[in-house]
């Protein structure tokens, strides 16, 4: 620190002017920065909206001790400056300003250290100055700045060290004492409070200054300040202690706050009730105390305050601060080196996310801002909700319908292809009655028995001879085949070329799907090079139609030049070309042709190829041991990264759940995890605690979004795969007289259901009437609205004229759980559309308000699949 304390003050009349004074007095203005919105400067200094402009400096006066800004609106930028020797000069910054105050000086009889200067905010001609003790001289002088008449009083002959002519003050107080602080009451120009002699706080009235009106004995006499918004409350400090006073109980402070260091500045927030700001020595932060939280108990007063720190310059130690007198929460702070910061102290914002993606932020007492996340944000929460509206995971039979919801999310496709393929395989098994059967939810690893130590896969090596071109010689590649491998290939979505017909159509369908590279790669993997070439060139030919890929022609050309010769130019060119191809399948094709037999590393590590195709290739070309190590390694990698494509390998087993767990950890997509577990149709999987957590978590999500219908559908889907438990009948209606369920005699559910079915088919004329209890033959109660016995057709729609169709539900019993009055559902619903009280005479029950949950309606707008 430079040793000079820099102080700072806002102008009492202008909103954008302030001064700092240390060695010199500087006037500044704050200008709004217009260009703020355009430049998104992230640096925080420039991100502030305003710029501080230095307007003028006044350096003529030496040893400035205290400054008071003239509160008159007409005298702009007029300051009273007290020098260390007690002399006051009134200066003005305004160049054109010819305020008659400027240039006035007030001298005191004996030079003394000045402590403060305070301009009366209401009676603006009064200026108070306080001094250290000097013999029997008064320690507080109040000047009348308008009164120039009293300038030349006779100079005392002795002991005078004062330079100019000494001025007669308006009022003198506190003879022989020292005054350390002073404050006018902001809304009353006649009274003031001052701290004297380090032990008294005294309140005076100008109208009767002979004696003080109130006095308190306390050592906190420095920095007295009256709260602008609450006249009777004031604060003062001494060293490290702050005392808060209430004038109505002035005998002792209502609250004391003890700081760890000596206090430099104390001030109330001018626009906020009960907030005291404190700056202590060598501190980088201003502490705010909300002192309203004092509890006034019966006898003991509990002292408490809510603290908050403001640190405008990081760790730099502040020199002073000043609250803007009119703008709420605006604060200017200064460092000893003169660095300034004009800032707004923001209210603390509590906020909360709602389950429907709203973020509520109350900005202050008056306004709450609501933000809503919209569809463009790709957060998983919104994505899941969107998928629900597209019936993701709610189609038990038609797998493809589920995929519609995730069309744009290829990372989920692998899972669904596996679910689809497993289903296809299982259904074809049932059809063909083949010996080898796979259980549901199988992955390739367990299908090939790689997950067991004691069992080994035995497959047969089949040499396949082929030639690349008509004239070429035959070359040999080895395929490995066995029943398990064939089935595994089916899980990969491949169709082996043993079934000629199916293979053709498989390849053809791939081309149709717009993936000729993959088609040609697969056909080449089965060594149908001719077919592969045809696919490529056909595709290139259709370039004219605007959807082909002309570059493929070149690729086909290159391929057709294939030669077995290991050192041929073709091979070397291939090696370089390989890295320039963008399509992973084309790269794989070249890698396949270029590699030696039994060394397919380049193809297998072609990571941009889908997992299915890599596995499919491996299933064809790798011998058992190698296949095992390759698949296990791949499986580990995919499990670690939580890649859902790995489900193909693991299946829905423990390993698969581990993989799903990593997937959930990474993406928080509990929806897919829960649905995948359900679609695995495996009892074991559903018993896993993690899976149960996912399913519960997902159902809870659906409930929170009020997707109750979708939740019910999800439960139905779950139930259809895994029969966990039967939900027992929940409610029955029993007869008032005999107590038996009125549906018992109809052999409960089945009969009733049959009856309804038949009712629906037979039409209203054949509907049986059940207006009495089937067991005791007593009549059922009457509907409170139509007064017919329950069980009769309710004849809705006649009165209302709405032409509503007569459905079974309208005739249903319904009643209030509290008053136990009720009637036909349709009548009751209609009644409560307009009323809140029970329709029965004399019953005051507000039935409709009983169940607040009923006011909460399910989320609509989402299509619900038809059962």
Q: Does 514 bind another protein (CB under 8 A)?
A: no
Asked if residue 589 lies in contact with residue 524, where contact means CB atoms within 8 angstroms, the answer is: yes
Binding residues among 580-619 for another protein as defined by CB under 8 A: 607-611
- State yes or no: residue 833 binds another protein (CB under 8 A): no
* CA dist 245 → 226, 235, 307 (Å): 9, 6, 18
Tell which one of 352, 453, 454, 596 touches another protein (CB under 8 A). 352
Please select the residue that binds another protein; options are 95, 136, 258, 367, rule is CB under 8 A: 367
Provide, rounded to whole angstroms, the least separation between the CB of residue 402 and another protein: 18
Stretch that binds another protein, among 18-26, 366-374, 501-509, 545-553 (CB under 8 A): 366-374
Applying CB under 8 A, among 199, 386, 706, 709 the residue interacting with another protein is 706
Q: Which residues pair with 31 in a beta bridge?
A: 51
Would you say 170 and 150 are in contact if contact means Cβ atoms under 8 Å apart? no
Per CB under 8 A, which region of 233-241, 251-259, 377-385, 398-406 contacts another protein?
Answer: 377-385
DSSP 233: E
261 is an interface residue for another protein by CB under 8 A: no
Looking at the Cβ atoms of 225 and 310, the one nearer to another protein is 310
CA separation for the pair 345, 319 (Å, rounded)? 18
Fill in the per-residue mask, 628 to 647: x = in contact with another protein (CB under 8 A), - = not in contact.
---------xx-xx-x-x--
Interaction with another protein in 310-349: which residues (CB under 8 A)?
Answer: 310-311, 344-349
Site for another protein in 282-311 (CB under 8 A): 292-293, 295, 304, 306-311
Which one of the spans 98-106, 354-362, 497-505, 624-632 is the region binding another protein (CB under 8 A)? 354-362
Q: Which residues contact 266 (CB under 8 A, 6 or more apart)?
A: 222, 223, 225, 235, 236, 237, 242, 276, 277, 278, 279
By CB under 8 A, tell whether 802 contacts another protein. no
Count of positions on this chain that bind another protein (CB under 8 A): 96
Which listed residue (57, 62, 509, 836) binds another protein by CB under 8 A? 836
**Contact pattern for another protein over residues 733 through 772, marking x by CB under 8 A:** ----------------------------------------
- Select the residue interacting with another protein from 34, 44, 149, 431 (CB under 8 A): 44
- In the complex with another protein, the residue whose CB is nearer, 345 or 790, is 345
Among the listed ranges 65-73, 357-365, 399-407, 425-433, the one in contact with another protein (CB under 8 A) is 357-365
Sign of the four-CA dihedral 292, 293, 297, 301: negative
CB of 704 vs another protein, minimal distance in Å = 6
Q: How far is the CB of 781 from another protein (least distance, A)?
A: 26
Using an 8 Å Cβ cutoff, are 767 and 793 in contact? yes
The DSSP-derived string for 275-325 is EEEEEETT-S-EEEEEGGG-EE-SS-EE---EEEEE-TTTTSPEEEEEE-S
Torsion of CA 57, 60, 64, 68, to 10 degrees: -60
User: The sheet that has 25-32: what strands, in order across it?
Assistant: 7-10, 17-21, 25-32, 50-58
User: Which residues inside 396-425 make contact with another protein, applying CB under 8 A?
Assistant: 410-411, 413-414
Q: Which of 198, 303, 339, 381 touches another protein by CB under 8 A? A: 381
Among residues 2, 146, 147, 356, the one that binds another protein under rule CB under 8 A: 356
Distances (CA, A) of 10 to 29, 235, 357, 672: 10, 21, 43, 61
- SS3 for 557? helix
Assess 362 for contact with another protein (CB under 8 A): yes
Report the alpha-carbon angle 724-730-734, nearest 5: 150
The residues facing 222 across adjacent strands are 237
370 binds another protein (CB under 8 A): yes
Q: Which of 154, 300, 460, 665 contacts another protein by CB under 8 A?
A: 665
Longest dimension (CA), the chain: 135
User: For residues 183 and 710, which CB has a smaller minimum distance to another protein in the complex?
Assistant: 710
Does 42 contact another protein by CB under 8 A? yes
Distance separating alpha carbons of residues 766 and 758, to the nearest angstrom: 9
Footprint of another protein on 109-168 (CB under 8 A): none
Instruction: List phi, psi (to 5°) of 135.
Output: 45, -125
The yes or no reply on residue 354 touching another protein (CB under 8 A) is: yes
**Cβ 201 to another protein, closest distance in Å?**
29
By CB under 8 A, the residues from 676 to 705 that bind another protein are 689-690, 693-694, 696-698, 701, 703-705
Q: Which of 153, 371, 625, 779 binds another protein (CB under 8 A)?
A: 371
User: What are the distances in angstroms from CA 124 to CA 15, 47, 313?
Assistant: 19, 39, 36
Nearest Cα to Cα of residue 539 among 508, 567, 571, 516: 516
CB of 518 to another protein, least distance (A): 13
């Amino acid at each position: 620190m430079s040793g000079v304390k820099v102080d700072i003050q806002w102008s009492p009349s202008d909103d954008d002017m302030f001064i700092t004074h240390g060695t010199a007095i500087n006037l500044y203005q704050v200008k709004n920065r217009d260009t703020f919105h355009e430049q998104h400067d992230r640096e925080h200094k420039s991100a502030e909206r305003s710029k501080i402009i230095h307007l003028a400096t006044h350096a003529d006066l030496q040893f400035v001790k205290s400054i008071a800004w003239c509160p008159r609106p007409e005298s702009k930028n007029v300051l009273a400056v007290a020098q260390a020797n007690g002399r006051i000069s009134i200066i003005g910054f305004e160049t054109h300003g010819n305020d008659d105050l400027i240039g006035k000086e007030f001298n005191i009889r004996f030079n003394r250290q000045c402590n403060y200067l305070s301009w009366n905010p209401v009676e603006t001609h009064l200026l108070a100055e306080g001094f250290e003790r000097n013999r029997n001289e008064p320690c507080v002088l109040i000047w009348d700045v308008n009164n120039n008449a009293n300038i030349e009083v006779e100079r005392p002959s002795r002991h005078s060290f004062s330079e100019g002519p000494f001025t007669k003050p308006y009022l003198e107080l506190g003879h022989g004492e020292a005054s350390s602080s002073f404050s006018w009451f902001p809304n009353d120009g006649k009274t003031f409070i001052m701290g004297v002699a380090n032990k008294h706080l005294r309140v005076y009235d100008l109208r009767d200054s002979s004696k003080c009106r109130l006095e308190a004995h306390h050592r906190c006499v420095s920095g007295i300040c009256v709260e602008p918004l609450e006249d009777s409350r004031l604060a003062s400090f001494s060293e490290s202690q702050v005392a808060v006073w209430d004038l109505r109980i002035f005998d002792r402070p209502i609250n004391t706050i003890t700081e760890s260091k000596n206090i430099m500045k104390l001030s109330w927030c001018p626009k906020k009730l009960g907030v005291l700001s404190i700056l202590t020595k060598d501190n980088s932060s201003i502490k705010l105390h909300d002192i309203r939280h004092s509890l006034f108990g019966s006898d003991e007063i509990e002292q408490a305050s809510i603290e908050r720190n403001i640190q405008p310059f990081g760790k730099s130690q502040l020199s002073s601060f000043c609250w803007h007198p009119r703008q709420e929460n605006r604060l200017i702070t200064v460092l000893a080196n003169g660095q300034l910061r004009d800032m707004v102290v923001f209210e603390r914002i509590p906020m909360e996310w709602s389950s429907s993606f709203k973020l509520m932020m109350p900005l202050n007492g008056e306004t709450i801002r609501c933000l809503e996340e919209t569809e463009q944000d790709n957060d998983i929460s919104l994505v899941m909700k969107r998928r629900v509206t597209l019936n993701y995971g709610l189609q038990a039979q038609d797998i493809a319908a589920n995929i519609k919801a995730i069309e744009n999310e290829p990372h989920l496709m692998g899972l669904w292809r596996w679910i689809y393929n497993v289903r296809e395989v299982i259904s074809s098994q049932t059809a063909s009655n083949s010996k080898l059967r796979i259980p549901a939810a199988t992955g390739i690893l367990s299908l090939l028995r790689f997950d067991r130590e004691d069992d080994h896969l035995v497959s047969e090596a089949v040499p396949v001879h082929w030639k690349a071109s008509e004239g070429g010689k035959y070359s040999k590649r080895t395929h490995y085949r066995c029943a398990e491998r064939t089935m595994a290939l089916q899980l990969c979505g491949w169709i082996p070329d043993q079934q000629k017909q199916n293979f053709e159509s498989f390849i053809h369908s791939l081309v149709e799907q717009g993936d000729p590279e993959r088609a040609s790669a697969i056909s080449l993997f089965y060594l149908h090079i001719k077919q592969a070439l045809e696919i490529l060139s056909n595709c290139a030919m259709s370039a004219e139609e605007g959807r082909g890929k002309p570059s493929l022609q070149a690729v086909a050309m290159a391929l057709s030049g294939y030669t077995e010769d290991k050192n041929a130019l073709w091979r070397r060119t291939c090696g370089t070309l390989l890295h320039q191809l963008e399509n992973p399948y084309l790269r794989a094709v070249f890698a396949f042709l270029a590699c030696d037999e039994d060394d397919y590393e380049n193809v297998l590590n072609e990571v941009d190829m889908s997992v299915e195709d890599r596995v499919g290739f491996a299933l064809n070309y790798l011998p058992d041991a190698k296949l095992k190590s390759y698949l296990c390694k791949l499986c580990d990698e995919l499990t670690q990264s939580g890649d859902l494509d790995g489900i193909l390998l693991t299946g829905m087993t423990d390993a698969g759940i581990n993989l799903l767990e990593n997937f959930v950890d990474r993406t928080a997509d509990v929806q897919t995890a829960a649905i995948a577990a359900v679609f695995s149709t495996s009892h074991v999987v559903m018993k896993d605690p993690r899976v149960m957590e996912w399913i519960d978590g997902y159902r809870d999500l659906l409930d929170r979004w009020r997707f109750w219908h979708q939740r019910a559908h999800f439960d139905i889907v779950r139930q259809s795969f895994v029969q966990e438990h039967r939900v027992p009948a929940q409610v029955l209606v029993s007869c008032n007289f005999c107590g038996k369920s009125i549906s018992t005699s109809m052999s409960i559910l089945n009969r009733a259901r049959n009856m309804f079915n038949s009712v629906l088919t037979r039409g209203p004329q054949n509907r049986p009437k059940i207006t009495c209890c089937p067991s005791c033959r007593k009549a059922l109660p009457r509907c409170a609205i139509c007064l017919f016995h329950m069980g009769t057709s309710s004849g809705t729609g006649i009165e209302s004229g709405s032409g509503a169709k007569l459905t079974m539900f309208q005739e249903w019993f319904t009643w209030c759980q509290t008053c136990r009055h009720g009637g036909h559902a349709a009548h009751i619903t209609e009644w409560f559309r307009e009323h809140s009280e029970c329709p029965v005479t004399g019953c005051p029950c507000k039935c409709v308000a009983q169940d607040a949950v009923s006011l909460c309606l399910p989320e609509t707008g989402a299509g619900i699949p038809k059962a």
